[in-house]
Amino acid sequence: MFGVKSVSPTYLVRFSNLDEVADAAARLWGDVVRGRRFAVRVHRWGIHNFTSLDAAAKIGAALVSAGGKVDLERPEVELYVEIRGRRAFLYTEVLKGPGGLPLGSEGKVLALVSGGIDSPVAAWMMMCRGAHVDVFYLQSRRDTCLKLGIRRIRSGCGVPPHRLSKGTPHHENRLVAMYKNCVLTGCDEDFLRQGHIRGGF
């Protein structure tokens, strides 16, 4: 989902003191760190009577007792702890998301997608910017067919039909039509460079 930087499956610990978090970490990760170099990364939100470094030291000491060895520079295993209020989330896996802005934060976009790579990349980049993208697929290199497809899209968006007149090539090498909150984008740069579609609608 766009706007999400990462997701991690976690083990939840509800605690009243830091020793309970350290004990839970030792039970969960004792076998994982035994005979291996490890590092504990702690992030903390809220008001506590300990710091993030205090938490990392306490948890690390419990794991050293379980047979691990601390190495903050070149660990074989990285262990993460996020403390929020009286809840601690323990995890080892970080699954990367696409990041960007939250989906829908930049309105709706209609992407004209052809058979090439440029147009789906343009649509992906718009989604990363938070736009909700609807895709209109049109696989054709014929000038007349592309004009017809654009007219159909413009009609569906409530835009009165206009004739594509001949003139100079589009200065951005991409076809963009905006009407109210509707944006039509197409990015077949190779096709446009050949001069088949010229500005003026």
pLDDT band at 149 (very low <50, low <70, confident <90, very high): low
Q: Which of 80, 68, 59 has its CA nearest to residue 10?
A: 80
Q: Which of 108, 87, 5 has its CA nearest to residue 44?
A: 87
Q: Read off the DSSP letter of residue 72.
A: S
132 near 123, Cβ under 8 Å? Answer: no
What pLDDT shows up at residue 180?
32
Task: Convert the pLDDT of each residue in 57-66 to its tens digit.
Answer: 999 999 999 9
Name residue 82's amino acid.
E
Neighbours of 122 (CB within 10 A): 21
CA–CA separation, 107 and 130 (whole Å): 8
Q: Which of 112, 106, 105 has its CA nearest to residue 176?
A: 112
Q: Which two tokens stand for residue 195?
A: 């001069």
Q: pLDDT averaged over the chain?
A: 76
DSSP-assigned beta bridge partners for residue 65: none
111 near 122, Cβ under 8 Å? Answer: yes
pTM for this predicted structure: 0.61
67 near 34, Cβ under 8 Å? Answer: yes
Distance of CA 48 to the CA centre of its chain: 32
pLDDT band at 193 (very low <50, low <70, confident <90, very high): very low
55 near 44, Cβ under 8 Å? Answer: yes
